[in-house]
Structure 1
Amino acid sequence: MVTDSERSDPTRESSVLLRGLAILGCFDSPMPVITASAIVKQTGLPPATVHRILTILIEGGAVERVSRGSYRLGLKMWRLGSSVPQARVLRDVALPFLEDLYETTHEVVHLAVRDGLETLYIEKISGRGAVSVTSRVGRRLPLHATGPGKVLLAYGPRDVFDQLVARGLPALTPQTITDPDAIRRSIAEIRRSGYALSREESSVGTASVAAPIFGSLREIIASVSVVVPASTFNPWTLAPVVRAVALGISRGMGAPSR
């Protein structure tokens, strides 16, 4: 039983909050539903502690119980995430351009940002006839394995590449580039051309063109891409269109015209 003194103990309250954040962090995965046992394994917390904190998160609307022992993020977390100022402004500015890109290509269109050493997809537009991809809003993939990620890597802080190599470069498909020197050459080419090409590096049967989106300080803040079937991939046609869309979004975000 928790006493009044324990409830008012700042150290204990901080500990509970950190444990709650650790549990919420477990939902940061491609799988939308996770089990309590998986949370225990990922966090190293005792099962009783995980169960108690999950109960609190469910009462607060941050987590939903899907079935016995299985959970997913609640709508409250989605609403909070959607209200983050930078992401909200970026999506609001980018959406008309993304819709134009979709209407021009009728293929999968992505808007992505860098989150640590990963590509985070924050918007996706797709139609029934578009190529099948595994991406979804909120999904994260390694920077080196995606077109948008390589763009973010090419124009981002130089130490991010070193951190990525130190962590390891997993292969998502047989075509994923995992050699550091090859990725370094790819990054140099992206900076020269202004766009990234990716063929079957993140999913078999797909190819993409991605371009950088810059902010008011000429810093990279996101990347935009279009994904097409690898069998019909024509980068020389797609690249100018994707670059034009990226330029339009950049100007909308206050980037200098030059």
Structure 2
Amino acid sequence: MNAKPPVVSSALKVFEALELICQAQQPISLDQLARSLEVSGPTAYRIVNTLIETNFVKPHGYRQGYSATMKIFGLGAQYAGSFEFRDAARRAFRPVGMRFAETITVAKADGFEAVFIDKIRAGASLVFYCDIGRSLPLHVGAAPRSILAHLGDEEFESYLQTDLLARTTETLTDPDELRAARDRARADGFVLSVDEVDRGVSGIAVPILDPAGQILGAVAIANTSSAWSAADRAARAEAMKAAAAGMAEAMGGGMAKSAIG
């Protein structure tokens, strides 16, 4: 018989309580929660206070019970939205990867980081940092800098006040250089990164915006730096911008739009 993996029993009770509260048709009382969880009243009280402290649950006045907050629904929508974004990006950008036999990466904005949620391999497999689940600061690499370029002015300047650490000697860390790079990205509709994340790897990324013009994420194509001539870079930039426009059109403006034109 396989042994069960080690778990934190108290954490299991917290998640069980959250599930019960979310499933309840009306605010659930502390007594109901204690009975359902088979714990004492004081233990149920500590569990629900944990959920209140993390903003997953809210009280409804003295002895009026507890219900889930909108944070739960926001997380669910964000989770579903990530899959919608990823699937739309696959449909739009896979042909670009196949055309050039190169790797496509898909990143979503998450605060001041870009999180890679998909990697579409075509042709020879390129080994570099941007695997699914990994993240980068917004000033490092093509996809992150594409996201950074489309933050609002105040948020952009706030980011420049953070620690701008270098990943390689080519990483942009000077605020003035990042401001200039932002202007170029907005004017050109794409970001070129050369050796910023991994030595010997280049990327070209395009941003994806929601209908209100807010940045959702970015999609990049990558290859070894030595493989691309100036003409190669130009061809990929145009193909990526066209794919971004196609992604926006295919989604009917319901989620994303191109930053081009």
Q: TM-score, normalised by structure 2?
A: 0.68
Q: 1:229 to 1:18 in 2, by over 3 A?
A: farther
CA distance in 1: counterparts of 2:52 and 2:196, whole angstroms: 39
CA distance in 2: counterparts of 1:167 and 1:197, whole angstroms: 23
Compute the displacement of 1:110 (Å). 0.9
Q: 2:192 is matched with which residue? A: 197
- The structure 1 residue matched to 2:242, chosen from 223, 241, 244, is 244
Q: 1:101 to 1:181 in 2, by over 3 A?
A: same
Unmatched runs of 5 consecutive residues or more in structure 2: 1-9, 11-38, 57-74
Q: In 1, are the aligned partners of 2:98 and 2:123 still within 8 Å (CA)? A: no
Compute the displacement of 1:93 (Å). 1.8
Q: In 1, are the aligned partners of 2:82 and 2:108 still within 8 Å (CA)? A: no
Higher Rg of the two aligned structures = 2
Q: 2:49 is matched with which residue? A: 14
Matched, 1:144 2:142: no
Residue-pair matches, total? 197
Q: 1:57 is matched with which residue? A: none
Q: In 2, are the aligned partners of 1:130 and 1:228 still within 8 Å (CA)? A: no
Runs of 4+ with >6 A deviation: 16-19, 80-83
- Aligned-residue Cα RMSD (Å) equals 2.6
- SS of alignment partner, residue 204 of structure 2: strand
CA distance in 1: counterparts of 2:40 and 2:184, whole angstroms: 62
CA distance in 2: counterparts of 1:162 and 1:209, whole angstroms: 24
Q: In 2, are the aligned partners of 1:112 and 1:123 still within 8 Å (CA)? A: yes
Q: 1:124 to 1:112 in 2, by over 3 A?
A: same
- SS of alignment partner, residue 213 of structure 1: strand
Matched, 1:107 2:102: yes
Compute the displacement of 1:254 (Å). 3.1
CA distance in 2: counterparts of 1:90 and 1:143, whole angstroms: 19
Q: In 1, are the aligned partners of 2:104 and 2:221 still within 8 Å (CA)? A: yes
Between the aligned residues of both structures, percent identity stands at 25
Residues 127-154 of structure 1, C-alpha deviation per residue, up to 9 Å, x if partnerless? 4613321111111101101111111111
Compute the displacement of 1:82 (Å). 10
Q: 2:41 is matched with which residue? A: 5
- The structure 2 residue matched to 1:125, chosen from 115, 120, 129, is 120
Q: In 1, are the aligned partners of 2:108 and 2:114 still within 8 Å (CA)? A: yes
Q: In 1, are the aligned partners of 2:139 and 2:172 still within 8 Å (CA)? A: yes
